[in-house]
Amino acid sequence: MSKRTVLITGCTKGSIGYSLAKEFAAQDYQVFATTRNVASMDDLSTVPNITLLPLDITSRASVLLAHSTITQQTGGKLDILYHNAGYRSLGMAIESSVDEAYKMFNTNLFGILLVNSVFANMVIKAKGKIVFTGSVSGYTPHPSQAVYISSKAAVELYAKTLRTEMRPFGVRVVFVLTAAVNTGMSSERVKLAENSNYRYLEGKINKAWEELEGDAMSPDIYARQVVAKVVKTNPPEDIWCGSGATTVWIIETLGIRWAYNIFFSRMFGLNEMSPSFKKEVKGS
């Protein structure tokens, strides 16, 4: 295969991966677009330079099958391995279930470890790139997504360590700090149990998410901006992209992280004492 090649995980229609696949194809890459259910991205089959493959990154058998297929078509080389698949659910920190936390870490971190263990030698052979769809959420303590934030922070530190470890092989590691992008994930809202300590704030929390993600960037624009940098011979190690990315970059650069707690506490209604606790205080 003479074209440069890229494997992208998580290419469901309407997602960042879906737009990335189209943009890489437009850049004349041979794209292996993957997701657990191929039917969820089947219209990509009509796009030149795109091959659809089923891939569940949490299943070793699925990853090995994809590796075998791609190896046969590329001669054992892969120019770009693009980790994009992700899973997010909302919930308050003390009310998040272990099962749901495992699902997030299994997709957002453990799946990446599995895919890398199988595909890394193909990237090394090509002296290629490993790219991560990261998230500014790894920095921003948004209430109601503590577990998701934790998984994204873990991925960033893993990627930065991987960057150092892959340097001897000529492999570049690029981490994309993604802010608000208009996908199905960004439209998710919190649903609290009737006995939740925060039940009185459910409407306030969801309104806050609507405000934060109301002006989210189009995934097509996001993909165009990111791919233009990733395909460079010497791409930046970190790419900030998406609505609100610049604000987070400024806060991190200036080291004024205390601003997050003040802003989010007010926005999500957590700056005031809960009604039930007020009653307990008065009763005492």
pLDDT, tens digit, for every residue of 202-226?
A: 999 999 999 988 889 999 999 999 9
End-to-end Cα, the chain, rounded Å: 75
Distance (Å) of CA 39 to CA 9, 31, 53, 56: 15, 17, 10, 14
Strand 129-133 versus strand 80-83 pairing type: parallel
pLDDT digits (tens, 9 = 90+) for 163-194: 999 999 999 999 999 999 999 877 789 999 99
- Asked if CATH classification 1.10.357.10 holds for the domain at 5-283, the reply, yes or no, is no
The per-residue pLDDT for 91 is 95
Q: Residue 281 pLDDT > 80, yes or no?
A: no
Among candidate residues 152, 204, 229, 279, the one labeled active-site is 152
| pTM recorded for the entire structure | 0.94
180: which 2 tokens?
Answer: 């608000």
- CA pair distance 105, 197, nearest whole angstrom: 25
CB distance 124 to 171 below 8 Å:
yes
The per-residue pLDDT for 2 is 80
Kindly report the average pLDDT of the chain as a whole number.
Answer: 94
The per-residue pLDDT for 10 is 96
Among candidate residues 29, 82, 139, 148, the one labeled active-site is 148
Q: Residue 279 pLDDT > 80, yes or no?
A: no
The per-residue pLDDT for 284 is 56
CB distance 141 to 204 below 8 Å:
no
82 catalytic? Reply is: no
Strand 129-133 versus strand 50-54 pairing type: unpaired
Please compute the mean of the pLDDT values over residues 140-145 and round it to a whole number: 95
- CA pair distance 166, 157, nearest whole angstrom: 14
229 catalytic? Reply is: no
Sketch the domain layout of the chain as residue ranges. Answer: 5-283
- CA pair distance 138, 6, nearest whole angstrom: 26
Please compute the mean of the pLDDT values over residues 141-166 and round it to a whole number: 97
